[in-house]
Amino acid sequence: MAFEGVYSVLPTPFRAGGDVDVDSLRRVVDLFVQAGVDGVTALGVTGEVSRLNERERALVTETVVNHVNGRAKVIVGTSADGLRTCLDYCREAKALGASAVMISPVRMPKLNSVAVVNQYRVVAEAVDLPIVVQDYPPISGFAMEAGLLARIAREVPAARTVKLEDPPTPHKTARILAAAGDVRIDILGGLGGVFLLEELMAGAAGVMTGFAYPEVLVDVVTKFRDGRVDEAAEVFYRFVPLMRFEFQEGIGQAIRKEVLKRRGVLADGSTRAPGPVLDEGTRAALDRVLAWTAKQEGASWISG
């Protein structure tokens, strides 16, 4: 199964920071799917997966798979501190109807490339699903070199998609593809989409991010694929300020949820404790960047 195009990472909506808000989750799914994305990703890092219990993980996955209802692919994050737990999450995702699982290297003392390759091999042998290799060192604590990612693709055919979040991502994209040779690897950029155009130019297959305006990502990728690179660049550059603002470290989850609330799909924009809370200064700055973006686009659908 090839993974190309736009994959939107879903937030996990909460009611005032408490219970999972299933109705809002369904509305978010509809927003992304109707924007034309190729797939959605549940239980990602920005989906606050670390703040969910086992019952809530299953609830989110089941809700997303059922509501997508075949309209797009559904990737489910199944990273865990231990391999056995990761396998349990993968089996549950498969049972609930996921299209693929996304996995970071398991945290362990003195982790090395042999152990990482073996982890993905064990998962592939145990669960018949495509694997998205998440290359995000801040989460895994392990930096995967381009040669290692190419080796995983060669030795574990199920793991030939990479979500790349180890900057500089355009440069690393080119290095991975060169190391892979004639083995196909689909690379999906992340990092809020702030390097999407450059990643595509380097050979990326698409993007996986939770940017609150998926229509923009779809437009950029579509134009680029059609060979209209200048047009893709014009769209991308107009939205980079908003992407950059939304992807701020430490508070980005709260900003993204606030934007999605303003777009009418989240009833409540809160994160679950100890997640970030928007201060008045950040809200005022968000008002400004949204108003500027709306003025550039002449678009009322950009929530100011």
Cα(74)–Cα(59) distance, integer angstroms: 14
Domain ranges for the chain, please list them. 5-226
The pTM assigned to this predicted structure is 0.95
pLDDT at 17: 79
Residues 6+ apart with CB under 8 A from 270: 14, 16, 17, 254, 257, 277
Region 5-226: CATH code = 3.20.20.70
For the cut 70, the answer to whether the pLDDT of residue 304 exceeds it is: no
> What is the number of alpha carbons within 13 Å of residue 182 lying toward its C-beta?
0
For the cut 80, the answer to whether the pLDDT of residue 95 exceeds it is: yes
Q: Give the single-character DSSP code of 192.
A: G
Task: Look at residue 77 and give its three-state secondary structure.
Answer: strand
pLDDT at 30: 98
Residues of the chain with pLDDT > 70, as a percent, come to 99
- 76 forms beta bridges with 42, 101
pLDDT at 97: 96
**Structure-block tokens of residue 112:** 């090395």
226 exposure class (CB count in 10 Å sphere: 0-12, 13-18, 19+): exposed
What's the CA dihedral at 271, 261, 249, 222 to 10 degrees? 130
